[in-house]
Structure 1
Amino acid sequence: MIKIAKFGGSSVADAKHFRQIKKIVDADPSRRFVVVSACGRRYKSDAKVTDLLYLVAAHVRYHVSCDDLLEDIGKRYFDIAEELGLNYPIHEEFAAFAEQARAGELTTEELVSRGEYFTAQLMAEYLGLPFLDAADVVAFHHDGSLSMTRTHALIQERGIPGGFVMPGFYGATREGQIKLLDRGGGDISGSILAKCLDADLYENWTDVSGFLSADPRIVEHPQPIGRITYQEMRELSYMGASVLHEEAVFPVMEAGIPIAVKNTNRPLDPGTIISDREDFVSDEPIITGVTGKRNFVAVHIFKDHMSNEVGYLRRVLSIFERYRVSIEHIPSGIDSFAVVVQGSDVKDSLWSIVADIKTEATPDSIKVVDNLALISTVGRNMIGRPGVSGSLFAALGQEGISIRMIAQGSDEINIIVGVRDDDFERAIRAIYRAFSDGDHLLELSDLKRAEEEARAEAAVLANR
């Protein structure tokens, strides 16, 4: 069995966490392929090494001294090596890197990638595994896009069958130019490696025990999610649940490899399993989770007999495309529809877009609604279940929360409602309570029992 174990920045923050990782890796002989991020925060007010390296790059670009920053970064690695008794020549290697950085000889991507590089070098020695440089196996095209075909071939050719430690977040072109993945790209690196090695499981180790069914800053003691599908995870991640980089799902989803999200500090916690299993289990919750985002804008467009006018919607959407604005949702009626976008995407262009719509689409009226929050209730077990939407809307009504927009995906695994920004947290709590008994989310068995009780009560009333 092959497990890819990816450890995030918080999991490699210091020597104490290195020791914890060694216990986790040594506990399971299947964990012989390890991917690491750069050292993260050791405490709340601490800085991530990656953020510090971006600052170094900015200082170099503007010809400002970065000596203090480089000294702080180097000390992070020196302390780990010293405390763990490692032989890797980190002082010499880091000094050579720092000299190149000060001289402006490194691109920003080369400079920032050294956070993962040095972390992986130290981790490889500590775990007793070979080091495999991501620049040698994670292949990029010159335009910065990933080449999965070449990456697969290189990992098969250069990967060490017995296991290795690989830095995440970066790779290189054929010419050896370092390229970075998106922030959070270490998750993607682990996913890529899992696909290329045809792994049985991709373990993503972080500082939380998997996904929670709601934000604990909003809902008190939300229930952990034991099992979730790739599609549900994508929905929750996109709408704000930021445990795992959403792009990390695609390589393993295509290969049918499950993901286990685990807590480095509490390795015995069950965590969350993400897979393509969509079967229904009676002891699973009706909903999987509730999450959302603030700061959306809805542009409402009204035109009499719009449904009879071919191409009208396309003309309006082409205007948003011209301004390179991504569309979130398009709730519609017979003679009206709304285009919902993220406020940050139109902060400099909203009124220009509105003016173009008036000129080119000649609607009868346009109304802009800002300060809109979208809340997504997600769950594969909602499909085909009567009463779910009714419970959700009733819960918001009882709280006196006005629903500004309703949308549901064609796959029926999510219900999205728009509310005022000011009602955001109150709405999430109300929806969560609607599907909770106070301590746990209601399960399918609870719904079935309630349906049976309702049928029995109806039968009694009918016989009177």
Structure 2
Amino acid sequence: MKVAKFGGSSVADAEQLEKVARIIQSDKERRIIVVSAPGKRFANDVKVTDLLINLGESYKENRQYERELSLVVERFRSIVTDLNLSDQVIDKIETEIKNIFASSEAIYSKLEALKAVGEDTLAQILSEYLTSLGMNARYLNPKDAGLILSDQPGGAQILEESFDKIYRLREYDGILVIPGFFGYTSTGKLVTFSRGGSDITGSIIAAGVKANLYENFTDVDSVYCVNPTIVNNPKEIATLTYKEMRELSYAGFSVFHAEALIPAVRAEIPVCIKNTNNPNCPGTMIVAKKEIQTGENPVVGIASDEGFMSLYISKYLMNREIGFGRRLLHILEDEGISYEHTPSGIDDMSVIMRANQMDERKERNVIKRIKAELKPDQVHVARGLALIMIVGEGMQRQIGTAYIATKALKDANVNIEMINQGSSEVSLMFGIKEEAVNAAVKSLYQAFFE
């Protein structure tokens, strides 16, 4: 059994859904299909989920929302018309949305239910279309599929009791089409995952039914070893481990939602990234373990991300002051700030964090508290930091990887603000100034892949 998930670009219009149908027809093992809401059809288009969010904002602010509602309805109407299907599902959309607004639920619950309309409607359309082609297909609501989630709207988590129920999906004949992105609490309340959560649904279903393979169809042939907007025609990655994918996705690789792989990783379900527009391409396999040949390039990918900052604290004999680091991090916790890395020396410590977490007010509060509570010799903030991650399972066993990387940065005339290697078995991280990212990545790519 295979579970196949189709992202927003794969279901953006009728033409894309025709491709999806051919992909499903081509392999009888593709028995469970998970879908996103329709994405962009062209560069300046608007995703259906964004249309629904705009509709919800108009309702919340007591503004006229007929225009926003018509945009949602017409988007689906165009798909139904082009696929020669009945208008029945279109009538249901308007009725469902009006019922959501008329319900006695709290406003946040109404907005949660509204956001889920995109995936839910698309799943019904695809199921009807597959049936019209002679396939034994049926729509299955996430509640009936067994997705029981925690009561955390916009950030729900799967509950362990779900997996026994999901496993029973193996008993169904034919093809099941399940909407992604949302599920239900044990009391029957609709809740959503965080944005992009259809990937999470696909991974949960694959783990729950113990699939042989979880296929994630998107609009790229495979995962590239570097951002193709920085390096032209970069090499494709044939195989990645879960650890490597996690490191790459953290540092700017946007192939997967951050939480999406967790259920598949725990169940050791192999994942394949494939292209809806080029389904015969083998894609990228993500597996638990892989064999690394002697002499093989240990680096599989180079990722970069901007928008970081560092908080630097220096104090003589810091290493002898018990609880210093804990108290520092507690100050950040009080301000609602999470940290990414904490490189340190015997008398100094840096905390790397996302810059958008600390505005000017928080920065003043944090520095004021650090000076008052920790009495450092120095404390200052540096913004405009970018992180570059060099990733590969085999790097620890390969002599000279750090030398190659630092030489590449030297050749590109890029100064290293920070380096962190020992904390991870599969990655080597550099902090540099944001303006140097492109030059650094190009030089690193040339050193490791050319």
Shift of 1:87: 3.6
Matched residues in 1 for 2:103 and 2:442: separation? 51
The residue aligned with 1:408 is 421
Task: Return the match for 2:303 from 283, 288, 291.
Answer: 291
2:29 is aligned with 1:30: yes
Distance in 1 separating the partners of 2:65 and 2:243: 44
Structure 1, 85-94 or 383-392: larger mean CA deviation: 85-94
Report the Cα distance in structure 2 between the residues aligned to 1:142 and 1:413, rounded to whole angstroms: 35
SS of 1:166's equivalent in the other structure is strand
- Which of these residues, 269, 288, 295, is aligned with residue 276 of structure 1? 288
Change in 2 beyond 3 A, CA 1:278/1:411: farther
Moved over 6 A (4+): none
1:120 is matched with which residue?
123
Structure 1 unaligned residues grouped into runs of 5+: 438-464
Asked whether the 8 Å contact 1:288–1:378 carries over to 2, the reply is yes
Aligned-residue offset at 1:112: 1.2
1:87 to 1:227, Cα distance in 2 relative to 1, 3 A: same
* CA deviation after TM superposition for structure 1 residue 66, in Å: 1.6
Q: Deviations over 1:333-379 (max 9, x none)?
A: 12111111111111241221111111111111123221111111111
Give the Cα–Cα distance (whole angstroms) in 2 for the partners of residues 405 and 98 of structure 1.
51
Kindly indicate whether residue 324 of structure 2 is the aligned counterpart of residue 315 of structure 1: no
Tell me the residue number matched to 1:450.
Answer: none
Which residue does 1:6 correspond to in 2?
A: 5
Q: 1:108 aligns with which of 108, 111, 116?
A: 111
Residue 31 of structure 2 aligns to a residue whose secondary structure is: strand
Residues 42-441 of structure 1: pairs in structure 2 closer than 5 A? 42-87=41-86, 89-100=88-99, 103=102, 107-128=110-131, 129-136=137-144, 137-144=146-153, 145-157=156-168, 161-162=172-173, 163-281=175-293, 285-347=297-359, 348-437=361-450
Q: Which residue of 2 aligns with 1:451?
A: none
Q: Indicate if the aligned counterparts of 1:88 and 1:122 stay in contact, CA closer than 8 A.
A: no
Q: For 2:24 and 2:296, locate their aligned partners in 1 and report how far apart those are by CA, in whole Å.
A: 31
SS at match of 1:300: strand
In the alignment, which residue of structure 1 is the partner of 2:14?
15
- The normalised TM-score by structure 1 is 0.90
RMSD between superposed Cα atoms in Å: 1.8
Q: Report how far residue 148 of structure 1 moved.
A: 2.9
1: distance between equivalents of 2:274 and 2:104? 39
Contact preservation (8 Å) 1:303, 1:363: yes
TM-score by length of 2: 0.93
Instruction: For residue 351 of structure 1, give the secondary structure of its aligned residue in structure 2.
Output: helix
Describe the SS at the equivalent of 1:339.
strand
- 3-state SS of 1:248 partner: coil
Q: Deviations over 1:216-250 (max 9, x none)?
A: 11111111111001111111111110011121111
Change (3 A) 1:159 1:135: farther
- Please give the alpha-carbon distance, in whole angstroms, between the structure 2 residues aligned to 1:399 and 1:164: 52
Query: Percent same amino acid at aligned positions?
Result: 35
Cα deviation, residue 138, structure 1: 1.1
Q: 2: distance between equivalents of 1:71 and 1:404?
A: 52
Displacement of 1:105:
6.2
Q: Is the 8 A contact 2:168 2:209 kept in 1?
A: no
Decide whether aligned partners of structure 1 residues 104 and 57 sit closer, same or farther in structure 2, where only a CA change above 3 A counts. farther
* Higher mean displacement: 414-423 or 308-317: 308-317
The SS at the match of 2:16 is: helix
Structure 2, gaps ≥5 residues long: 132-136
Taking the aligned partners of 1:125 and 1:409, their CA distance within structure 2 comes to: 53
Letter aligned with residue 79 of structure 1: S
| CA distance 1:204–1:423, change in 2 (3 Å) | same
Moved more, 6-15 or 405-414: 405-414
Q: Does the 8 Å CA contact 1:201/1:257 hold for their aligned counterparts?
A: yes
Q: Secondary structure at the match of 1:184?
A: coil
Secondary structure of the structure 2 residue equivalent to 1:148:
coil
Q: What number of residue pairs does the alignment pair up?
A: 436
CA contact (8 A) 2:169 2:209 kept: no
- Do the aligned partners of residues 355 and 225 (structure 1) sit closer, same or farther apart at CA in structure 2, a change above 3 Å counting? same
**Residue 78 and residue 159 in structure 1: after superposition, are their counterparts in 2 closer, same or farther (change >3 A)?**
farther
**What SS class does the counterpart of residue 290 from structure 2 fall into?**
coil
CA shift at 1:143, angstroms? 4.2
CA offsets 1:166-221 (integer angstroms, 9 cap, x no match): 00000112332110111110000000000110101000001111211111111111
Name the aligned partner's letter for residue 161 of structure 2: R
1:282 to 1:17, Cα distance in 2 relative to 1, 3 A: farther
